[in-house]
Structure 1
Amino acid sequence: MSDQHAGVRYVVDDVPAAIEFYTTHLGFTVRMSAAPAFADVVRGPLRLLLSGPASSGARATPADASAAGRNRIHLVVADLDAEIARLSDAGLDFRSDVVAGPGGRQILLADPAGNLVELFEAAR
């Protein structure tokens, strides 16, 4: 395989809203868009496949697997407090408080479809 990206598929209700969320707030760039059905956005080595209701990826998802659950993408940030302030100022809601552990600190937010995103700052 020549693609140097690790791919994750998120099923979303609104592809343009998801593109806006990931590109405006989390530093992704659009690799390819067939909105409103599908978009492919990237950040570093992460390729995020945003599949709308009309996409083949969404049709192949079993009904019992549609809940976000605990699965999420994990984005490393240099300054978690600054990211929290920036995203709060943009009107985004977090799904958890900051959690600290031996490896660092993290917080969860959700994209417009409810898919989870973990922002993580490694311990110094």
Structure 2
Amino acid sequence: MDTFASVRYIVDDVPAAIEFYTTHLGFALRSNPAPAFADVTQGPLRLLLSGPQSSGARATPAEASGAGRNRIHLIVDDLDAEIARLEAADIVFRSELTAGPGGRQILIADPAGNLVELFQPAT
């Protein structure tokens, strides 16, 4: 059995989410057993993509359904190259490039608005 750290993202459109993560961020489709759910993986990260009809989405209380500041954090080797590649694919950035003592980062969002942080550690 594979061991993953799993994160659930509630999405509006499961096929669009699959396409976003597999095409633009290098995730692999692990399963898509129903139109309401899929999971994609990258290394030890398993991202559970739950559409409106999935049990995960239905279990979310209305008062907890707003977007937060949480995001998955993906380490990249060359942030400038990733930014150029994603700009060419018309991906919209949700932040400016930010640099700090630990490295540089920028935020993008999946089609449902879930945040993804691309991070290049300082050398």
TM over 0.5: yes
The reply on whether 1:85 has 2:81 as its aligned counterpart is: no
Give the stretch that moved more between structures: 28-37 or 50-59.
Answer: 28-37
Instruction: State the 1:70 CA deviation.
Output: 0.6
Structure 1 distance, partners of 2:108, 2:9, is 14
> Aligned with 1:57: secondary structure?
helix
Q: CA deviation at 1:82?
A: 0.4
Question: Is 1:68–1:116's contact at 8 Å kept on the other side of the alignment?
Answer: no
Distance 2:4 2:111 in 1: 23
Partners of 1:51 and 1:68 in 2: CA distance: 15
Moved over 4 A (4+): none
Q: Secondary structure at the match of 2:19?
A: helix
Q: Which runs of 5+ in 1 are unaligned?
A: none
Q: State the partner residue of 2:97.
A: 98
Aligned to 1:61: 60
How many percent of aligned residue pairs carry the same amino acid? 76
Taking the aligned partners of 1:94 and 1:54, their CA distance within structure 2 comes to 28
SS, match of residue 17 in structure 1: helix
Specify the code of the residue in structure 1 equivalent to 2:61.
P
Q: 1:35 Cα shift?
A: 4.2
Q: What does 1:1-124 correspond to in 2, within 5 Å?
A: 2-124=1-123
Whole-Å Cα distance in 1 between the matches of residues 56 and 22 of structure 2?
21
> What's the RMSD between the two structures over aligned residues?
0.9
The whole-number CA distance in structure 1 between the counterparts of 2:3 and 2:110 is: 25
Any unmatched runs of 5+ in structure 2?
none
Secondary structure of residue in 2 paired with 1:32: strand
How many aligned residue pairs are there?
Answer: 123
CA distance 1:35–1:15, change in 2 (3 Å): farther
Query: Does the CA contact (< 8 Å) of 1:15 and 1:35 recur in 2?
Result: no
- Whether the 8 Å CA contact 1:16–1:35 is kept in 2: the answer is no
